[in-house]
Amino acid sequence: MKPPSEQKRKVAHLAIIMDGNRRWASSRGLPVFLGHKAGVEALKRTIEACLASGVKVLTAFVLSTENWNRPEGELKYLLGLLQETIRAEMKLLQDHKVKVRFLGESLQAAFPGLYELFAATERETEGNDSLLLQVALNYGGRADILQATRSFMRQALEGTLAPENLTEGLFERALLTGLGDQACLDPDLLIRTGGEQRLSNYLLWPLAYTELLFLPILWPDFGLSDFEASLAEFQGRDRRFGS
């Protein structure tokens, strides 16, 4: 057995910005909707790859708080596609013991049916432990930090928490990415497809020491070879965490 310093680093938590669905469709003369449908297939391939490689957490950026500015027809299709996919793939999620969590501001008021589906999916997959799939929908990193800050301000005003007793650990658990009584593992690796090299308000706190990988390929084209190459790239990097 190799000593720890020589063992290959494993990606325990993978975060993905799935960029390029619309450009993929446009480059082929196809409707935008088919780009999103192809993007769902790429996500399914990635989930399978995570299960096979031992990744424990996959956090996928599906819809940001800024994406509501897109055309109404496209948004309606996206939400419908999401509902259809969840219902169609529930058995597969259960068979592979995938636990699902939805991250983002609540859609209960605007989309009660979708909210109920999300809640039911989380309940039904709660006991699964092979892979935690976190779906970031109506999510923004700044909004997440702001809501956590407000919760601690309320506690300070109520006298239940002194400001000097607020720690990074407590703050992490108050974020949407936290798991309540414990913080979720920070991502080891962030992959963004589509050629853009920015975070786009995604997981701003958890990505503090994450390795970043920006790929020129469009998300629907992301396959197993790209997944494996990305993990190999991560394994070759020297992570010092400021030391």
CA distance 187 to 16: 10
67 belongs to the catalytic site = yes
Residues 210 and 189 sit within 8 Å (Cβ to Cβ): yes
Q: In this structure, what DSSP letter does residue 130 have?
A: S
Phi, psi of 12 (to 5 degrees): -85, -35
Exactly one of 67, 128, 201, 221 is catalytic; which is it?
67
Identity of residue 193: T
CA distance 194 to 218: 4
Cβ atoms within 10 Å, residue 152: 17
221 belongs to the catalytic site = no
Exactly one of 19, 186, 188, 226 is catalytic; which is it?
19
List, by residue number, the catalytic residues: 19, 67
